[in-house]
Structure 1
Amino acid sequence: MTARETFVALVTCFDDAEEIDFRATRAQVRRQVEAGNHIMCAGTNGDFTALTFEEKVRLTEEVVAEAGGKARVIVNAGMPATYETVKLAREFDRIGVDGIAVITPFFIECTQDGLIRHFSTVADAVKTPVYLYDIPARTQNHIEPETARVLARHGNIAGIKDSGGQQATLEAYLEVSKAEGDFDVYSGPDSLVLWAFQNGAKGCISGLGNVMPKVLAEIAEGYNAGDLAKAEAAQAKFTAFRTDLYKLGYPPALVKRSLYLMDPSVGASRQPALPPSPEQDEKIAALLKTHGLV
């Protein structure tokens, strides 16, 4: 059985002036490595849309250096224009990451043929394996399973991160993986980590793992060791907190704020992200206490 692996979509830490706090971000990398998780940086939970080109490059350099080969690092290069996505991907290729994720273009409505051209162009431009990244609720563009099947045949497209939240879509991508081979599926929804492992996913890329890194790692540890009871218990704990927390609003913001209430060094997100309210903080703090996180 192929071992399943857990990645955390790492938060990017900011100081009070909204500058990236690289020292605090490195501390979060160490925390994940110690728990046994790999890293995805500059993703949705990493506020990638609020980062400049130069900041993404330096952030990746810092994260790779801190991981020090103890954990794999995937970085998101996706931007609305193929041109800038390629420029970023080449920088990440130079730095030496383990994978380059490419979120579907946002703002620009794409055809499936357009998506095939976009991803293929990026994959042609670098040596590092490329991972498709589907999150239609945020980009308004969706990688259809048949499009994933076409792209799976590209020699440098290694898999897909599915953050659509629909089990049926995840199942369809898993069917593509089984049929095509050498095309790994990573589950995004935190409630489906164990289910995805049991149904052929190579791993997961989790936002909630920022708050509960050890619990996330335990899902994979239990599954890989054949200890289903351990895996199920960890998944139940993970899902219970997710269910309660995500009732309060936009998940990435809630994850960041939960972590902030545990460790203020992570800072808030850059504007125009909605600033947290005292009322919301009280609710999150109560959940953290209920779930034994503080």
Structure 2
Amino acid sequence: MSEKKEAFVALVTCFNDDETINYAATRAQVRRQVAAGNNIMCAGTNGDFSALTFDEKVRLCGEVVDEVGGKARVIVNAGMPATFETVKLARAFDRIGVDGIAVITPFFIACTQDGLERHFTTVADAVKTPIYLYDIPARTQNHIEPETARRLAAHGNIAGIKDSGGAQETLEAYMEVGRTVEGFDVYSGPDQLVHWALTNGAKGCISGLGNVMPEVLAKIVSGVNAGNEAQAKQAQEIFTAFRTDLYKLGYPPALVKRALFLRDPSVGLSRQPALLPDPAQDREIERILERYGL
């Protein structure tokens, strides 16, 4: 276990009441995560990226990088349905300077594996920043087959993959690619698999739930890094139980945002047409937060 494992939090984007981005509140969330020892992924699924404009993403990335100030690593998601816009975004992020650019599989446009390969290769060719493939088939309807990941891993500027598929066998297949291809790191997305993934060859995790439980997430990783299995296992049990309780109530990113909001209203609501607050659901979330001492 020589290689140090790392956690990224898929940071929420905070909004004002008029649905404009609240950059000051977003920076406060950055500070909270950095203080806990976590790295930042910005403009990901939990950051409402699909509800943000091009210019907002660019500004958001700049503000996050500025706030982090080199104290943690930053990955930003540039993936859009068309390769053309993805390249434009990636180039803008490349100029700002980040540690990695994640590229979610195109959504709405159904892709062949060949199409996915062209998409990722074109983006990776266009920038100097390392590119991370990002697979989340439940949301995009497009899936990077492990063999496609293996072919892409040979590209000099493709540094790894974030697997948010939720299937352990796919994660295992990606980790097999990581074992055989030098410089291809695997990051696990599902919050219930953090400990398992880190001890089975993943370089790290990228977590949405870490927005609400930054210290618990950091404890799983620090436990693994220190060889303290008991600490890692106990933190994972808390993380998994909290996830199970919270996600029973509906769409995970909306619930993460709402759980945060109930403790810190500065994070704001998500942009419409996302779920509107529901008093009965809020009471359920409150009960869960109290149960976990949050």
TM-score relative to the length of structure 1: 0.99
1:47 corresponds in structure 2 to 48
1:38 corresponds in structure 2 to 39
1:169 corresponds in structure 2 to 170
Gaps of 5+ in 2: none
1:131 corresponds in structure 2 to 132
Within a 5 Å distance, the mapping from 1:174-253 to structure 2 comes to 174-253=175-254
Determine the C-alpha separation between the residues in 2 that align with 1:93 and 1:3.
Answer: 25
Give the Å deviation of 1:291: 1.1
Give the Å deviation of 1:179: 1.2
Determine the C-alpha separation between the residues in 1 that align with 2:277 and 2:124.
Answer: 39
AA aligned opposite 1:206? S
Question: Aligned pair count?
Answer: 293
CA-to-aligned-CA distance 1:45-101 (integer Å, 9 cap, x gap)? 000000000000000000000000000000000000000000000000000000000
3-state DSSP class of the match of 1:196? helix
Determine the C-alpha separation between the residues in 1 that align with 2:257 and 2:182.
Answer: 36
Within a 5 Å distance, the mapping from 1:87-106 to structure 2 comes to 87-106=88-107
3-state DSSP class of the match of 2:186? strand
CA-to-aligned-CA distance 1:172-217 (integer Å, 9 cap, x gap)? 0000111112100000000000000010000000000000000000
Determine the C-alpha separation between the residues in 1 that align with 2:284 and 2:134.
Answer: 32
Give the Å deviation of 1:109: 0.1
Give structure 1 regions of 4+ aligned residues with deviation exceeding 6 angstroms: none
Within a 5 Å distance, the mapping from 1:63-74 to structure 2 comes to 63-74=64-75
Once superposed, what is the RMSD of the aligned Cα atoms?
A: 0.4
Give the Å deviation of 1:122: 0.1
AA aligned opposite 1:148? A
Gaps of 5+ in 1: none
Determine the C-alpha separation between the residues in 1 that align with 2:223 and 2:177.
Answer: 26
Say whether 1:56 aligns with 2:57.
yes
Q: Which one is further off, 177-186 or 58-67?
A: 177-186
AA aligned opposite 1:8? V
AA aligned opposite 2:169? A
AA aligned opposite 1:108? I
3-state DSSP class of the match of 1:276? coil
AA aligned opposite 1:55? E
State percent identity of aligned pairs. Answer: 77
1:143 corresponds in structure 2 to 144
TM-score relative to the length of structure 2: 0.99
